[in-house]
Amino acid sequence: MTSKAKLGTKAPEFDMPRDGGGRVRLKDLKGRKIGAAGINQRYVEPLGAVGVSGPLPKYYNMLKTGIVDGAMLWPEAALSFKVYEVAPYMIDARIGAANSKVVAANAATWKKLPAPVRKVLAEQAIVYRDHMAKVALKRGADAYGAYTKKGGKIIKLAAADRLAWAKGMPNIAKEWAARIDKKGLPGSALLKAYMAEMRAAKQPIARDWDK
C-alpha cells in the first residue's frame, strides 16, 4: 500500500488504506461503524461493518464525536448538512439506491373524483415523475462538484468491488417481496416485472435480485 485515504471523522481520526492504484478495498471497511437508516444497515453486513442507527440530521455530530466512522447518505445530503467538514472523504459506491417521485391519492378519495379529473391526474403524474427524476439527477451531479469545492475528496469504488459487494449481500429484494406476498399482495410478481424491465432496457445489473 503506497497511499492512505482518511474516511469519516476528524476526532478520532483514522486511516483507510488504499492500494497503489488509489483503490479503496472492501476489506478496509471491516469493523467500521457506519451510520445508516433502516434497511440501509443491511448493506454493510457483508462488509463486516456495524450499522449504527441514527437520523440524518444527527450524522454530523455522530461523525464529529466518533460515534460512527462513516455514514451512508446521498451527495446532496452530504453537502446540505456540511458533512464534508467532519468526513471529507466520500466513497462513491453507487450501490443502487432508489429515489421515487410519485403523486399518491387515498383510494376512497380517488373513487369520489370525476373520471375526467382522474384521467388528468394520472397523465400529469407521469409528467411530474419524469420531471422530478431529471431534477434529482441534476442536483445529484451538481452535488459532487460542490462537495469537492468545499474541500471534500471523492474516491470511486472499483467496479469489481461493487459487484462483489452486491453478490455478498443478503437478498433484501426477495425478502421484501416475500413480506409483501404474505399480505396477499403481488410482491414477487412486482420484483420479477421490475427486473424484467431492467433487463429489457439493457440496464447494468449487479445481481439478479429476483433469482
Considering the domain delimited by 3-97+148-170, tell me its CATH architecture.
3-Layer(aba) Sandwich (3.40)
Q: What is the pLDDT of residues 165-180, one digit of tens each?
A: 889 989 999 999 999 9
Predicted model pTM: 0.74
The whole-angstrom separation of Cα 158 and Cα 26 is: 10
Q: In this predicted structure, which of 4-8, 71-75, 143-147, 206-210 has the lowest mean pLDDT? A: 4-8
Mean pLDDT of 30-42: 87
User: Which amino acid makes up residue 55?
Assistant: P
CB 163 within 8 A of CB 93: no
User: Which amino acid makes up residue 155?
Assistant: I
Decide if pLDDT at 205 tops 70. yes
Q: What is the pLDDT of residues 91-103, one digit of tens each?
A: 888 776 556 778 8
> Would you kindly state where each structural domain of the chain is located, as residue ranges?
3-97+148-170, 171-205
The whole-angstrom separation of Cα 97 and Cα 18 is: 25
Q: In this predicted structure, which of 59-63, 90-94, 196-200 has the lowest mean pLDDT? A: 90-94
In this structure, the chain runs to a length of 211
